[in-house]
């Protein structure tokens, strides 16, 4: 297949979702409500600065009020908890996002479970994780798996009865992705295999799949001989690899060997330009739902 006709354009699909979100923001404005989203960043991780900057910019475009609280890397866990509690109690803020990664001395599980479930637009609170497992739509779905799900639905990929392999069992992508696709209901009903570092013979699992979702954090892991012709391939990976020719001496690559896999895939996400824009789109859609 040529590069022109089998790409899933994440930027275009994210833009559709932003238009829908914008209409919902306008409907809330008529009721005198402006959705508010708080970003909390601890330390000066360069990637976190970029990600939060992109999210702030999109908030401004859609009419969502946002504020970013930057705390020094030396901030104690109890100080961070205190800040979260104050935003939990403030009704003008509908969503709270604590940007990962956190400094080593702060326990992420403690922090994510401290955000009020009704403001947990990242979908990491145990209550929202439980709702996702139970197929309860009142919770918030984590943004990256939710974005992948929307990419598949809006690209008209047949999900009912599909064999799906998810590479990676992380709490942020792998496990919630499997939970979303295995539910009994519309746009789900998949048979899901969750592969990880202890899985025997990953290529055999992948070659059986109609859809492969790579989210294990290993650069260019998925090769052409690991998929069957016509499979749908979604690349969630974000890996920095050394590249002396690139500015800064490194570049970002996905978990899929794109140049090798693309000619064999039925549909494939580029990286960048695939899953990334969808994550932000789902975050802002969740924030508006929290305000609604």
Residue 208 CA to residue 163 CA, distance in Å, equals 7
Confidence (pTM): 0.96
Alpha helices for 115-274 (secondary structure H): 126-134, 143-154, 174-182, 202-207, 258-261
Residue 41: in which H helix or E strand, if any?
strand 36-42
**How far is C-alpha 210 from the geometric centre of its chain's CA atoms?**
21
**CATH 2.30.130.30 corresponds to the domain 142-276:** no
Alpha helices for 166-231 (secondary structure H): 174-182, 202-207
CB 138 within 8 A of CB 292: no
Q: Is 136 among the catalytic positions?
A: no
Active-site hit among 58, 99, 262, 264: 99
Q: Is 77 among the catalytic positions?
A: no
Residue 189 CA to residue 182 CA, distance in Å, equals 5
Domain ranges of the chain: 32-125, 142-276
Q: What is the CATH number of domain 32-125?
A: 3.40.50.10860
Active-site hit among 119, 120, 122, 262: 122
Task: Going residue by residue through the chain, which has 292 residues, state the pLDDT in tens, using 9 for 90 and above.
Answer: 344 589 999 999 999 999 999 999 999 999 999 999 999 999 999 889 999 999 999 999 999 999 999 999 999 999 999 999 999 999 999 999 999 999 999 999 999 999 999 999 999 999 999 999 999 999 999 999 999 999 999 999 999 999 999 999 999 999 999 999 999 999 999 999 999 999 999 999 999 999 999 999 999 999 999 999 999 999 999 999 999 999 889 998 999 999 999 999 999 999 999 999 999 999 999 999 999 9
Q: Is 122 among the catalytic positions?
A: yes
Cis check for the bond before 272: say yes or no (omega within 30 of 0).
Answer: yes
Angle of CA points 128, 143, 98, to nearest 5°: 75
Residue 241: in which H helix or E strand, if any?
strand 239-242
SS3 129: helix
């Amino acid at each position: 297949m040529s590069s022109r006709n089998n790409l899933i354009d994440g930027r275009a699909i994210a833009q559709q979702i932003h238009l829908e979100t914008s209409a919902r923001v306008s409907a809330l404005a008529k009721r005198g409500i402006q959705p508010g989203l708080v970003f909390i960043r601890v330390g000066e991780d360069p990637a976190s600065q970029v990600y939060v900057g992109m999210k702030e910019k999109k908030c401004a475009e859609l009419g969502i009020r946002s504020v970013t609280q930057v705390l020094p890397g030396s901030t104690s866990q109890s100080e961070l908890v205190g800040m979260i509690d104050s935003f939990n109690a403030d009704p003008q803020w509908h969503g709270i996002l604590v940007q990962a990664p956190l400094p080593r001395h702060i326990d992420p599980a403690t922090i994510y479970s401290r955000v009020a479930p009704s403001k947990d637009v990242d979908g990491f609170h145990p209550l929202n994780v439980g709702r996702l497992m139970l197929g309860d739509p009142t919770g918030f779905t984590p943004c990256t798996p939710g974005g992948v799900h929307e990419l598949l639905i809006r690209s008209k990929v047949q999900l009912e009865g599909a064999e799906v392999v998810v590479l990676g069992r992380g709490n942020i992508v792998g496990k919630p992705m499997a939970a979303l696709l295995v539910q009994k209901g519309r746009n789900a009903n998949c048979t899901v295999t969750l592969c990880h570092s202890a899985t025997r013979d990953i290529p055999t699992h992948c070659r059986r799949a109609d859809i492969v979702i790579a989210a294990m954090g290993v650069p260019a892991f998925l090769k052409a001989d690991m998929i069957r012709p016509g499979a749908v391939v979604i690349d969630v990976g974000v890996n920095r690899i050394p590249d002396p020719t690139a500015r800064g001496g490194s570049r970002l690559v996905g978990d899929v060997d794109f140049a090798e896999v693309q000619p064999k895939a039925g549909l494939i996400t580029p990286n960048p330009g695939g899953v990334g824009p969808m994550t932000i789109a789902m975050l802002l859609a969740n924030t508006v739902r929290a305000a609604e």
